[in-house]
Structure 1
């Protein structure tokens, strides 16, 4: 039986969602906001895409130098591998909502991280859940309310059934996310599973097609340049042959003229 979900914008404690059954969700760990230390392997992959190779355009076609999908999403790509080009490609493929959701969820995480760290010293029991909002002062409660509105905007735009830019999420992922927010959980970790699903979808589908499109365009441009060079070479060769023919004809004409002047 389908689940009916309704959103209420008036409550500071968050949207009211009516479910047939409740799911107990443990509060996310504060370590979620701790800066992650990249592994040595990850550091090497980023270094291999260093700006030292920026002048060598042909090296970008090498699989070792092509940016990963995550690097493109962070706008770390060079040449044609930019976030703007990737967004334009997704728009042409009618799946731009995947990128829009990924960027919106990333922005939400940054806002939640900023609020969490600004409140933690004065209200250590605050954990981005509605039940802990009672300990906030007026300005902190207002900031938390703004964060809740951002979450509701994400749900209404990308997650709720029949939303304007509904994502291709499984029912399990969709219901788990809506249920968590219905219970007052506004930690960005509740978006993580949906975010990973969309990331996997782009990695398996859109990203390879984007790379293939760039490679095909480069090959087409290279073929056009070669054809133009061959045409110019042929034209120059024809001009040289034409010039040589005219020179010989002129010499022959002079020779015939001298012979006629001599007479019989």
Structure 2
């Protein structure tokens, strides 16, 4: 049985590896991922039985891919509801909708609504962000711009990418949807 390592790629974990002639291809692939921001993925590095070559295999789509497909987005939302963390995807979607707005009058109202629904300390759908970010957003509500939620949105996206998405990719809901897409009725 080949020896396998399974982990989320963090580029700094691979910088200190002793590069030798047996493994440069796998490490070069890993190092090239440094250029892809917000693309943390599960990866399997498999050592062949000969012991000299390494293979790199990706496991599952990226969160960005899931969020672009309506069927997967709906399934991911349902999954988050079952885990009592649907506020994360709802906040991210609200921020995405907010960035599409063009009217400055509506922008102010939408910003206030997002703060009230997701960021206010007493909000029913409060998302988990740090106090400083929350206060910075609160101050920006006086004259909101399209980027006032960027820091919180990025934090929530990373949280979903690193925590919720890997669990979703292991869920029965994801596997059923993926199998249905492969085998249309």
TM range (shorter): 0.5 to 0.7
What displacement does 1:205 show? Answer: 1.1
Does residue 69 (structure 1) correspond to residue 89 (structure 2)? The answer is no
Match 2:124 to one of 164, 172, 175: 164
1:103, distance to aligned residue in structure 2 (A): 0.4
For the pair shown, the structure with the greater C-alpha radius of gyration is: 1
| Richer in helix (by share) | 1
Contact residue 168 and residue 174 of structure 2 kept, 8 A: no
Offset of 1:71 from its aligned partner? 1.4
Higher strand share: 2
TM-score normalised over the length of structure 2? 0.60
Structure 1 runs not aligned, ≥5 long: 1-40, 46-62, 116-142, 222-264
- 1:92-103 equivalence runs, <5 A: 92-103=82-93
In structure 1, C-alpha distance between the alignment counterparts of 2:139 and 2:173, rounded to whole Å: 43
Give the Cα–Cα distance (whole angstroms) in 2 for the partners of residues 110 and 149 of structure 1: 14
Task: Point out which structure has higher relative CO (alpha carbons under 8 A, 6+ apart).
Answer: 1
Gaps of 5+ in 2: 1-34, 40-56, 180-185
RMSD of equivalent CA atoms: 2.7
CA distance in 1, matches of 2:66, 2:88: 14
Question: Could you tell me how far 1:208 is from its partner in structure 2?
Answer: 0.7
**TM-score under structure 1 length normalisation:** 0.43
Tell me the number of residue pairs that the alignment of Structure 1 and Structure 2 aligns: 125
**1:216–1:160 CA distance, 2 compared to 1 (3 A):** closer
